[in-house]
């Protein structure tokens, strides 16, 4: 940015619009507080709960964005949501049955092998 002159034009824009400094300060403070909340959540409840809470927050944000801002709803959103739910389910299942991970890795390896070599039987 320094070589292209973008940094200088950015500072000029901010000097003409001083409210930008206030917005940047609010953005920085909210980012800091968000990180502190997530770290406290990890410390008190564990990483799984923290990831689950942050994922749910993201899902709620996406849902609210569909409510407040018009955009086409495609099947890709449903597919992505199902992948997240399956990932959480597999994580819970793995915690209750640690030997499941080896079976799951073996199953995925067989699927990949079949896709690469459709005529061979594993």
**pLDDT tens track for 96-122:** 777 777 777 888 888 888 888 877 655
Q: pLDDT: is 85 or 99 the higher one?
A: 85
Tens of pLDDT, residues 37-80: 999 999 999 998 898 899 889 889 988 988 898 888 788 888 98
Nearest in space to 91 (alpha carbons), one of 50, 38, 57, 121: 50
To the question of pTM greater than 0.85 for the whole model, the response is no
Residues with Cβ < 8 Å from 93, sequence gap 6 or more? 100
pLDDT of residue 122: 52
Closest CA to 23 of 35, 32, 14: 14
Residues 6+ apart with CB under 8 A from 95: 48
Distance CA 6, CA 38 (A): 34
């Amino acid at each position: 940015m320094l070589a292209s002159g973008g940094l200088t034009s950015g500072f000029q824009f901010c000097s003409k619009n001083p409210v930008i400094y206030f917005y940047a300060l609010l953005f920085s403070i909210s980012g800091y507080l968000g990180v502190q909340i997530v770290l406290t959540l990890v410390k008190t409840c564990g990483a799984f709960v923290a990831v689950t809470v942050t994922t749910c927050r993201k899902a709620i944000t996406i849902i609210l964005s569909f409510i407040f801002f018009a955009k086409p709803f495609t099947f890709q959103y449903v597919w992505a949501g199902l992948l997240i739910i399956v990932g959480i389910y597999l994580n819970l299942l793995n915690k209750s049955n640690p030997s499941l991970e080896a079976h799951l890795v073996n199953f995925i390896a067989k699927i990949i092998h079949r896709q690469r070599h459709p005529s061979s039987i594993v």
